[in-house]
Amino acid sequence: MLVTNENAPDPLIGQHFGFGHGKRLRVERRLGKGGYGVVYLAHEESTGQAVAIKFLLDAGVDANTAERFEREGLKYGKMVQHPNIVRVHWYGIERGRAFIVSEFIDGRTLADIVDSHGALQVNEALRITKEIAIGLHAAHRVNVVHRDLKPGNVMIRSSDGAVKILDFGVAKDLASVGMRTVGMVGTPGYCAPEQKRNKAIDHRADIFSLGAILYELLTGTLAFKGKGTVEVENAALHLDPVPPTALNVNVTKPVAVLIAKMLQKSRRRRLADMAEVARSIDLIREGAPQKIAEEDGHAVRRWLRKFFER
């Protein structure tokens, strides 16, 4: 059983795994803990390669969670391959312990960055959002919806600022008719309304989640807040967030409109796909409305209608 006392020695530190794949991975230190897994830094002793190794908790995990963990390692790691998505190397079971070996990212999550520094510069927030959109567009093209997109599941690599999406543990394969969801999955405050209601979802659920992330990156606060889970869920279902322009004077109207389109309660009114999200961000960053306005004052409204209205 994993140690629950944070001050006690961790029995996994110093152990070796990966023999079933011809590797000898030495567990070095603990990186973090999620709802049903604990992630460690490990090194392949013959090459020195750093990897992340996530172990399934061996207590309090039901059969459905164990199945999702296995599916994350065996299925989504092969289906979803993109530079903006953390690469899964393999799934294994050794000494009765299930684990996933994946690419190690030396960096910080967006949650850590916002907690430490508050709102980001507008251009940086848009850059990060575009990279997330590009990565998820690749996932959506193979019918995989993340379903738990949030700042804690996005890392920024320290060396070059690369954006990496983590944790497809509760992802859904839209092409798999045999998969059933028992209860709502995801994180309150980021899940789309249809996801909260446990209705059928598609790729547009991730668009809602990404809109909530962009809002948080630009304002330093959650789009949907409350004193508890129920209040947060009700806010996301029925309320619109405070306009980001009221919380950050640097947020322009086109950026605010983009967020509003991504956070539409009805998925039919959101942007069509992640490719459209990325294209819209490009146009905003290029200053398209200002450039058009120099030639035709009425063109700004036409530009907004073209890219953000349905």
- In 3D space, the residue among 153, 158, 229, 162 whose CA is nearest the CA of residue 189 turns out to be 229
What gap in Å lies between CA 145 and CA 137, rounded to an integer?
A: 9
Q: Is 148 a catalytic residue?
A: yes
Tokens 């990060």, located at residue: 128
Both tokens of residue 22?
């011809």
148, 167, 206, 273: the active-site residue = 148
- Beta pairing partners, 90: 101
What gap in Å lies between CA 98 and CA 56, rounded to an integer?
A: 6
Both tokens of residue 310?
């349905």
List alpha helices for the chain, DSSP H. 63-71, 77-79, 110-117, 122-141, 193-196, 204-219, 229-238, 244-247, 253-262, 274-285, 288-293, 299-308
What are the phi and psi torsion angles at 41 (to 5°)? -85, 135
- Beta pairing partners, 275: none
Burial class (CB in 10 A: 0-12, 13-18, 19+), 275: middle
Both tokens of residue 268?
């039919």
* DSSP code for 168: -
Burial class (CB in 10 A: 0-12, 13-18, 19+), 116: exposed
Which residues form the catalytic set? 148
